[in-house]
Amino acid sequence: MERLFQRFGAGTLRFVDYLGSVATLTSEAFRSLVTMRPRWRETTLQVYSIGVRSLPVVLLTGAFIGMVFSAQSYFQFHKVRMDTSTGPAVSIALSRELAPIITSLMIAGRVGAAMAAEIGTMRVTEQIDALRSMAVLPVEYLVVPRMIAIAFSLPLLTAMSIAIGIFSGYLVGVEVLNIDGAYYLHNMYIYTEDKDIYTGLIKVFIFAFLVVFISCREGLHCEGGAEGVGRATTEAVVNSSIAILITNFFVTMLLSKIIPP
């Protein structure tokens, strides 16, 4: 029993320690953002790495999410002869939940892992110590450009994912499932609002910070050589994904108060 409590206490302390290290990294990054001039060249390279190179995978997942959601919505709405409600169902679900979550998870998997691996490798090969010795702050040099890049790229990627998802959902609904295209678009236009788009974009803006800080924290705290880098990469992806899914619920509830659906 005593060992159980001890384990529970140790786990709690580890969790609090983990949260503390992420919070410290966050505060350092924002302090650097305010006090130092951002490195725009590195930021541009990160936008290319995070945004442009993630575009194909984000568009592909967005398109197929839109298609499958359109088909599933149609199958249910068709039972009550409300086929044309598929349009707004697809657009609202994609804008508010599906596209933000799927895009964020894809970015966490692709970019978060890369960040953790890259920074982790620098950490185990003592390049970060070298930066410090050259009076370059690792957070300012490594984390801030990634933070700016992902905070900028993720909403843009999400917007593209929403657009391609709506378009592919329309194609499946109208061309494959023979829903009346005019009413599909009309109902989508009537029932989807700009706040649905805002809600999704605000969410991914928050998720962007989760991904970058959790991934960079894993890289900066990486120990144990190549094995440690692998572990850091895995933990970056897993922790980012869990954080995104948990935070999504609370952000949704909070936004529902600020921007009523």
Partner 1 sequence: MNNERGIQRTVGVFVFAGILVACALILHFGKVGDRFRGGYPVTVEFANAGGLVRGAQVLFAGVPVGKVGGISLRDEGDGVNVEVDLFDNNGIRSDARFLIKQSGFLGDKHIVVLPVSSTAPLLKGGERLRGTDPFDFTDAAAQAGEAIRKLNAAVDKFSEAMLDPQTLGDLKSSVRNFSDLGGKLQGSADRLNAILARVQKGEGTFGKLVNDPELHDELKRLIHNWRVHGLLYREKADERYPDPRKPAPGARAP
C-alpha to C-alpha distance for 190 and 26, rounded to whole angstroms? 41
Choice between 58 and 124, CB closer to partner 1? 58
**Is 95 an interacting residue with respect to partner 1 (CB under 8 A)?**
yes
Q: Are 179 and 204 in contact (CB under 8 A)?
A: no
**Is 57 an interacting residue with respect to partner 1 (CB under 8 A)?**
no
Q: Which stretch binds partner 1 (CB under 8 A): 6-14, 45-53, 171-179, 226-234?
A: 45-53
Q: 31-39 contacts: CB < 8 A, separation 24 or more?
A: 32/137, 32/139, 32/140, 32/143, 32/144, 33/144, 33/147, 33/148, 36/137, 36/140, 36/144, 38/144, 38/145, 38/148, 39/140, 39/141, 39/144, 39/145
Shortest CB 198 distance to partner 1, Å: 7
**Of 83, 196, 218, 235, the one binding partner 1 by CB under 8 A:** 196
C-alpha to C-alpha distance for 207 and 244, rounded to whole angstroms? 6
Judged by DSSP in three states, 223 sits in coil
**Is 204 an interacting residue with respect to partner 1 (CB under 8 A)?**
no
C-alpha to C-alpha distance for 215 and 120, rounded to whole angstroms? 10
C-alpha to C-alpha distance for 109 and 81, rounded to whole angstroms? 40
**Is 159 an interacting residue with respect to partner 1 (CB under 8 A)?**
yes
Choice between 118 and 235, CB closer to partner 1? 118
Choice between 34 and 260, CB closer to partner 1? 260
Choice between 44 and 234, CB closer to partner 1? 44
Shortest CB 243 distance to partner 1, Å: 24
**Of 57, 137, 163, 171, the one binding partner 1 by CB under 8 A:** 163
State the residues that interact with partner 1 by CB under 8 A: 44-45, 47-48, 51-52, 55, 91, 95, 152-153, 155-157, 159-160, 162-163, 189-190, 192-194, 196-198, 201
